[in-house]
Amino acid sequence: MVLKTTYNPDKDIPDQSGKVFFVTGGAAGIGKSTIFNLAKHNPSTIYFTGRNSKTAETVIAEVTAIDASIKIEFLQCDLSSLDSVQTTARKFLAARPSRLDVLICNAGIMGGPPGLSPDGFEIQFATNFLSHALLTKLFLPLLTQTASTFGNARIVNLTSEAMFFCPSTGVVIDDLRTTQENVSYSSFVAKYVRYGQSKMAQTLYTTQLAVHYPGITSIAVNPGVVPTGLINGLPVLDRWFIKLGTWGKEIEATQGPWSTLWAATATEGVSSGKAFSPVGLVLKLYGPAKDETLAKRLWVWTEEALKAWE
- Name the residues annotated as catalytic: 195, 199
Among 301, 299, 106, smallest CA distance to 212 is for 299
Count the neighbouring beta carbons within 10 Å of the beta carbon of residue 168. 8
Q: Compute the distance between CA of residue 31 and CA of residue 59 in angstroms, rounded to an integer.
A: 11
Edge-to-edge strands, sheet with 275-277: 71-76, 45-50, 20-23, 102-105, 154-158, 217-221, 275-277, 281-282
Q: Bridge partners of 3?
A: none
Cis before residue 279, ω within 30 degrees of 0? yes
Q: Bridge partners of 158?
A: 221
Q: Compute the distance between CA of residue 128 and CA of residue 38 in angstroms, rounded to an integer.
A: 23
Q: What Cα–Cα distance (Å) separates residue 132 from each residue in 89, 93, 255? A: 11, 16, 24
Classified as helix, coil or strand, 19 is coil
The answer to whether 159 and 222 are in contact (CB under 8 A) is: yes
Classified as helix, coil or strand, 78 is coil
